[in-house]
Amino acid sequence: MRTTALIVASALFMQNLDSTVVTTALPAMARAFDVSAVTMNIVVTSYLVSLAAFIPASGWVADRFGARNVFRAAILVFTLASVLCGISDSLGTLIAARVLQGIGGAMMVPVGRLLLLRRVGKADLVAAMSWLTMPALLGPVLGPPVGGFLVTALSWHWIFDVNIPIGLIGIVAVTVFIREDEPVEAARFDIRGQVLAGIGMAGLIMGLSSFGRGALPPAEAIALAAVGAVAALAYALHARHHATPLLDLSLLRIPTFATSVIAGSMFRIGVGALPFLLPLMLQLGFGLSPLRSGLITFVSAAGALTVKPIARPLLQTFGFRTVLSVNAALSAAAVALTAAFRPAWPMIVIYGVLLAGGVFRSLQFTAYNTIAYADIPPLRMSRATSLYSTLQQLSLTLGVTLGAAVLAVVGAGRGPRHPSLADFSLAFLVVAAVMVPAAWLALRLPQTAGEEMSGHHAAPR
């Protein structure tokens, strides 16, 4: 179990690191290609669109060709695409390589999770998911300082080259340590579903992410998001009348899966805003350098490293229902407290709040990612991972959009000046408020939810 979890976690870390390290290098890449920094946002959006468009098909592809084979191929595609990104001599070739990289990433996340779910018993799933939680939290905070160092000390090409050794080791490790899958009969591919889901996700992700990154004018971003929303609605209607839809929305009738998806999405919207808001507040509001800002935000990632040994004992003692409810409230409180940060605060206090918040968020992700699959039948596991990963990607994008939207609204009419500390404080409070309902939604779970995974047995009434 541990070996499989580490292999999957390493691949996911590579993808999460790459997703954030690129943004740091955009100005240097813009100078190299003699274009504006705003134009270079297409390097980010092309990857996100490709990722979003192909995630829905990941479950079917894993069933058709085997999760082990697809996961290994995804690492290979991602690694080769990284090589092509690093040697690109024009913006066009770089964009094409990023699209290919997105296809690899779309298969790595859900298929890697599926690979683990099929090989780990329910009693060991909490420990296994603790490993997968770390890449999601470490990547966004490690990306900026790592990217800044590579661009400053070497060149922007190196931000892609660092993926090569990780990818090669991952391919070898999958081949040596992970056994072949048992064959799974795949239904006929839902072509119409792929088109509708792909357009829906691509439109929503590109449109919403543009608000946070300024990649497109507001009118175009709204139009893209609207097209995505219409396609997503059309897909929902299509899925109701299809025997084997690509994204099986009927899985939301399973209470544990639905709670993890709905409450988890609200939680991720809040968490998704943090890597966007916190570095900006430290640099624009506190006047810190990008390097020093990155070192401070890294503290929240350090909290993730402490969760693995405590997740199982906490869940065993209190159960998923109590942990998800109480910890969601604590996480929201930690984000709200971030709104009070000021340059005069002792740095040890800021470190303490960020460290505690990292612990709370990591524990919550571990619990969500585990309870989601508590009651999923084995034959529907691939569809569950596709749907879960699709909605997870959308909710994280909504977090950046929410943070950017709050800053834009409160700063309207002030001209081009940077947001003030008060603006950031309001943004953090709004984000924390969005996370609060996740605590209430968890209370709708029965006390016995996920007891086979946690080992917690509720006292009889």
- Contacts of residue 313, defined as CB under 8 A and 6 or more positions apart, other chains included, come to none
Distances (CA, A) of 26 to 20, 38, 89, 139, 145: 11, 9, 15, 17, 14
Given a cut of 70, whether residue 137 has pLDDT beyond it is: no
At residue 50's C-alpha, the angle toward residues 46 and 55, to 5°, is 150
Same domain for 233 and 221, yes or no, is yes
> What is the total count of domains within the chain?
3
Q: Are residues 119 and 258 in the same domain?
A: no
Which tens digit of pLDDT belongs to each residue from 66-105?
A: 888 999 999 999 999 999 988 888 888 888 999 999 999 9
Residue where one domain finishes, among candidates 245, 277, 309: 245
Same domain? For 46 and 32 the reply is: yes
Domain enclosing residue 235, as ranges: 190-245
Q: What is the pLDDT of residue 183?
A: 63
Residue 434: the pLDDT is 92
**Domain shared by 259 and 241, yes or no:** no
- Report the range of poorest mean pLDDT among 18-27, 80-89, 118-127, 192-201: 18-27
Domain boundary among 154, 189, 224: 189
Residues 292 and 383 in one domain: yes
What span, in angstroms and rounded, lies between the C-alpha atoms of 42 and 91?
Answer: 9
Residues 6+ apart with CB under 8 A from 243: 187
437 falls in which pLDDT band (50, 70, 90)?
very high
Give the pLDDT score at 156: 80
Statement to judge: residues 425 and 324 lie in one domain: yes
The DSSP letter of residue 250 is G
Alpha-carbon gap, residue 152 to 406, rounded angstroms: 32
Distance CA 231, CA 237 (A): 10
241-269 CB burial, b ≥16 within 10 A, e <16: eeeebbbbeebeebebbbbbbbbbbbbbb
Q: Are residues 203 and 295 in the same domain?
A: no
Q: Do 419 and 383 belong together in one domain?
A: yes
Overall pTM > 0.75: yes
The reported pLDDT for the residue numbered 135 is: 66
Same domain, 161 and 263: no
Task: Verify that 86 and 30 share a domain, yes or no.
Answer: yes
Confidence of residue 257 (pLDDT cuts 50, 70, 90): very high
| Residue at which a domain ends, from 228, 245, 262 | 245
235 and 251 housed in the same domain: no
CATH number, domain containing residue 81: 1.20.1250.20
Tokens of 295: 């070192």
Are 218 and 116 part of one and the same domain? no
What ranges in 2-66 are assigned the alpha helix state H? 2-33, 41-54, 58-65
Instruction: Give the model's pLDDT for residue 75.
Output: 93
